[in-house]
Amino acid sequence: MRPHITPLRFGIILVFFLGLFAFFFFRLLTIQLLRASFLSRLAAKQHTYYMELEPKRGTIFDRNLRPLAVNVATYSLYAVPPDIRDHGEVIERLHALLGLEADFIRERLTRPKQFVWLARKLDGDAMRQIQVLKLDGLYFIKESRRSYPNATLASHLLGFAGLDNVGLEGLELTYDKYLRGTPGWTYCLRDARQRPLTVTDVLQPPLDGYSLVLTIDEVIQFIAERELDKVYEKYKAKGAMIVVMDVATGEVLASASRPTYDLNAPASYPAEARRHRVVTDFFEPGSVFKVVTASAALNEKAFGLDDKIFCENGAYRVANHTLHDVHEYGWLPFLKVIGFSSNIGTTKIAQKLGASMVHDYAAAFGFGVSTDSGVVGEVAGVLKPVSRWSKTSIGAVPIGQEVCVTALQLARGISVLANGGVLMQPYVVRAIIDKKGEVIRAFAPKTVRRVLAEETAASMRTVLTWAVEEGTGRMARSKRVPLAGKTGTAQKVDPAGGYSHSKFMASFIGFAPADDPKIAIAVVVDEPRPYYYGGVVCAPVFKAVAEDVLKYMELASVASVEVAP
């Protein structure tokens, strides 16, 4: 028997299906016409994601293109939380292998994200150990990590880059915009379970950073640091500094401070060890500053090398202060006043010149202002205007008191005497180059001003040669090469007032060879014990560095001639 369908029932069914069809048709139109772009973006977001491509940070080379800071391949671990089936196992395994805190891993894995970092910059061994576990939801991205092959060598000058290859200190910070490069972009495809499938074509390739070529010579830097370590440890010093400079160009060939630190693990050291004392620390220089007073006197023709000065047998009254010499000198020729480092003789020279003349020459030598070397953290030191001098300042400033300098300023100052009387601007970067070796930017020697006449500089070289051969710098005397320089021993200021009788800054500044100067060297040791005289503590360092650096430069010069076409 066939079922009986009434017109009413048929109409209801027909209306129902027509309404259902109309609903789906309208829904389809809505999706296709009104929500198409939104749903396309949603699908793209679910199945693709953009990834930043890290550029290669530029290398830092020494002047002979020996690498001082490089990049090494490394791997970073990330997770896709929805893909992880067993959080407990992942937490346990990563805690055991990488030492990550369990709470840290758990917090990361419970984030409502498709991508979370777990560990950055892992080495190849760590990556392989994790891959063997075959844990769901864990993946690797190849990156690079900054590495310093010489660990502590030139650490304060170079500085270091952080986890994201961004410069944080030193030249890494100063030249970060050149070294860092520009990131690129690509995107990855994922399946319905959000698992990565493949990396598509790169949308924008990264632009690698430029490289730096420094004025520093790796071998000279090693020689300087080797000798600095010896004196720092021998005299149980609070700190130590050394600068080696090309007297003709102002190029810094070596620069080091103690204490030091390993660039590959900077966080393991206190901030005190990371301070670049060569440019950040200023101090009263003591007797090394007498070269300024002596140079001014000769340049103004107020004295000749043989002119006699009475040194008052060791005690001399300046206003309400009595000035003393270490030894009781009577009449001394100008040359020996400086060679024997007489405070009284130097003060009498300054009194004849006048306060303004002494101040102006100190300023002409570059004291009281930054050297503009390009080294981060450099300070200007202190050189008071004459209007702020007291009645006793004429007996203090000329012998290196009431004035503050940096080790780099001392090296630049002594270079004036070595190169014929010209003040050069120190610099530490020779060029910025691309990965093909093409020069993007070059840095050339820059003359700041002429300070002394050539004959004055020649006379001062005679004075400082005598100071090493017969004067207070005798422990710098060399059998291999003639050397010239000046000793300095300065009492440190006591926080309670006045000068300390137990804390000193020992120093020596000089150049080599004395008869044809190539390099200038400044050595400063902070609070050496038990000996504290610059002629005892620092002069031997100057001698050792000068001898070995000149020998190296001679051998390097011969080698370059032999390989020349």
Residue 386 and residue 484 in one domain: yes
Q: How far is CA 24 from CA 13, 14, 17, 31, 155, in A?
A: 17, 15, 10, 10, 71
Statement: residue 192 has pLDDT above 60: no
Share of the chain above pLDDT 70, in %: 90
Residue 208 and residue 232 in one domain: no
The C-alpha atoms of residue 256 and residue 262 are separated, in whole angstroms, by 13
H or E stretch at 492: strand 484-493
For residue 515, what is the domain's CATH number?
3.40.710.10
pLDDT digits (tens, 9 = 90+) for 336-357: 999 999 999 999 999 999 999 9
Residue type, 248: A
Residue 181 and residue 231 in one domain: no
Quote the mean pLDDT of the chain.
88
Q: How far is CA 208 from CA 60, 259, 278, in A?
A: 13, 34, 32
Higher pLDDT, 51 or 206: 206
pLDDT digits (tens, 9 = 90+) for 253-296: 999 999 999 999 999 999 999 999 999 999 999 999 999 999 99
* Amino acid 563: pLDDT: 46
Angle between helix 87-98 and helix 102-109 axes, rounded to 10 deg: 140
Under a CB-based contact definition with an 8 Å cutoff, are residues 294 and 455 in contact?
no
H or E stretch at 116: strand 116-122
* Amino acid 127: pLDDT: 80
Residue 3 belongs to some domain of the structure: no
Statement: residue 195 has pLDDT above 60: no
Q: Which of 547, 336, 520 is nearest to 417 (CA)?
A: 520
Which residues, in sequence order, are CB contacts of 504 under 8 Å at separation 6+?
489, 490, 491, 492, 527, 528, 532
Share of the chain above pLDDT 90, in %: 65
Statement: residue 562 has pLDDT above 70: no
Under a CB-based contact definition with an 8 Å cutoff, are residues 100 and 120 in contact?
no
Top-confidence range, 157-166, 235-244, 497-506: 235-244
For residue 93, what is the domain's CATH number?
3.90.1310.10
Higher pLDDT, 43 or 393: 393
Residue 38 belongs to some domain of the structure: no
Q: Domain of residue 128: give its range.
A: 51-214
The C-alpha atoms of residue 432 and residue 511 are separated, in whole angstroms, by 30
Choose the final residue of a domain: 179, 214, 249. Answer: 214
Choose the final residue of a domain: 176, 193, 214. Answer: 214
Residue 478 belongs to some domain of the structure: yes
The C-alpha atoms of residue 171 and residue 416 are separated, in whole angstroms, by 26
Statement: residue 533 has pLDDT above 90: yes
Over residues 477-485, the mean pLDDT reads 96
Residue 43 belongs to some domain of the structure: no
The C-alpha atoms of residue 295 and residue 350 are separated, in whole angstroms, by 11
Rg of the chain, C-alpha, whole Å: 35
The count of structural domains within the chain is 2
pLDDT digits (tens, 9 = 90+) for 86-136: 878 888 888 888 888 888 888 888 887 777 888 887 877 778 888 887 888
Q: Which of 235, 239, 250 is nearest to 524 (CA)?
A: 239
Residue with tokens 């392989």: 128
Which residues are tagged catalytic? 287
Residue 28 belongs to some domain of the structure: no
pLDDT band of residue 162 (cuts 50, 70, 90) is: confident
The C-alpha atoms of residue 292 and residue 279 are separated, in whole angstroms, by 20
SS3 388: helix
* Amino acid 7: pLDDT: 75
Residue 418 and residue 434 in one domain: yes
* Amino acid 46: pLDDT: 55
Residue 46 belongs to some domain of the structure: no
Over residues 65-90, the mean pLDDT reads 84
- For 428, the token pair is 């530490």
The C-alpha atoms of residue 468 and residue 475 are separated, in whole angstroms, by 7
Residue 235 and residue 337 in one domain: yes
Residue 409 and residue 488 in one domain: yes
* Amino acid 35: pLDDT: 62
Whether omega for the bond prior to residue 528 falls within 30 degrees of 0, making it cis, is: no
Residue 39 belongs to some domain of the structure: no
